[in-house]
Amino acid sequence: MNKYKLIFVFLIFSASLSAQRLHIGVFGGLAAYNGDLTEKILPKKVTNGALGITGNYELTDHIMLRGGLTYAVVGGADRFSDDDEMKLRNLSFETSLLEFSVLGEYYLLNMNEHKYSPYAFAGLALFHFNPYAFNINNNNQKVFLQPLSTEGQGITGYPGKPYKLTQLAIPFGGGVKFAITDNLRAGIEGGLRKLFTDYLDDVSTNYADQADLLAAKGQFAVDMSYRGDEVGGSPVYPVKGAQRGGAKNKDYYYFGGIHLTYRVGSGYGARGGGKNRTGCPVNVY
């Protein structure tokens, strides 16, 4: 056998090994956010669905590398608060989220030998958001909030630049995964995203001066910055520096649902021998 045949056989063998370790998957579940506009967990009226696709690779019998792309919509509104003062503030937002993540998963048990295992995950994510609200003064027009500098971001005389709409996050969480067949697995999981911004909901610090906001960004910015007058609150725009949000605690969003994966290839993939879940010897590669 010449060297070219050896290279060809090696490539085919390597591809076979990789296929036995590769899982493709889908995620489906719920998405929600916590921040200045809601502190409830999975609030009924603003919890939405989340969908994703994943590629997963077995590094060892206990460690999986996972890449994923997830889409969801999250939001919050003062009108759903139990606090009367928050209801009078009357701010609200929604945003679509598109997240790309790379995670490491650690399984307590070897899934090639057990029918289920608890697992934990953590990693790094890049997400895109763009908060918007609806202006009732203009036929419920959908208005994107970041360009309006609702707290004076980017306006002369105010600290801070407009927040970036694509940012990093740290995802972490865990769940329990079940082996339905040797290749098909289903995980029930939940995960939080630690953010480095407090503007997922466009609410963080204090009201800008009304005249400054009007001159720099126009009437839409004024209308969307203070909305208490829409629900019977004070008709007078708050003074510059009045509290609008709280910057101490950053916003975060989270997913919970089912992660279904299918292993490409037919081998069990357990390295070093052992038995599969039925007690028979597993394939070794």
**Which residues does 180 contact at the CB level (< 8 Å), separation at least 6?**
186
Task: Examine residue 17 and state whether it is found in any structural domain, yes or no.
Answer: no
Element (H, E) at 18: helix 3-21
Domains identified in the chain, total number: 1
- Residue owning tokens 């720099």: 216
Q: What is the residue-level pLDDT of the chain in tens, covering all 285 positions? A: 554 554 454 445 445 445 668 999 999 999 999 999 998 898 888 999 999 999 999 999 999 999 999 999 999 999 999 999 999 999 999 999 999 999 999 999 999 899 999 999 999 999 999 999 998 877 788 999 999 999 999 999 998 899 999 999 999 999 999 999 999 999 999 999 999 999 999 999 999 999 999 999 999 899 999 999 999 989 999 999 999 998 777 899 999 999 999 999 755 544 434 445 544 444 433
Give a yes or no: residue 57 inside a domain: yes
Residue 38 included in any domain: yes
Asked whether residue 178 is assigned to any structural domain, the reply reads yes
Q: Give percent of the chain above pLDDT 90.
A: 75
Q: How far is CA 171 from CA 14, 143, 174, 238, in A?
A: 32, 29, 10, 37
**What is the model's pLDDT at position 17?**
45
**Is 88 among the domain residues?**
yes
CATH number at 67 reads: 2.40.160.20
* Residue 185 exposure: Cα atoms within 13 Å on the Cβ side: 30
Determine the Cα–Cα distance for residues 64 and 12; give it in Å rounded to an integer.
23
Report whether 185 contacts 203 (CB < 8 A).
no
Dihedral over alpha carbons 271, 276, 280, 283 (to 10 degrees): -30
How many beta carbons lie within 10 A of that of residue 205, not counting itself?
Answer: 20
Give the pLDDT score at 280.
46
**pLDDT at residue 270, as a whole number:** 42
Is 232 within the bounds of a domain? no
Distances (CA, A) of 32 to 10, 79, 170: 47, 17, 16
Residue 160 placed within a domain: no
CA atoms within 13 A on the CB side of 30: 12
Q: Which domain holds residue 82?
A: 22-130+165-206+243-263
Span 233-245, pLDDT tens digits: 899 999 999 999 9
**Domain annotation covers residue 40:** yes
* 53-90 pLDDT tens trace: 999 999 999 999 999 999 999 999 999 999 999 999 99
124, 176, 255, 87: CA torsion to nearest 10: -130
In terms of Cα–Cα distance, which of 9, 253, 224, 12 is closest to 132?
224
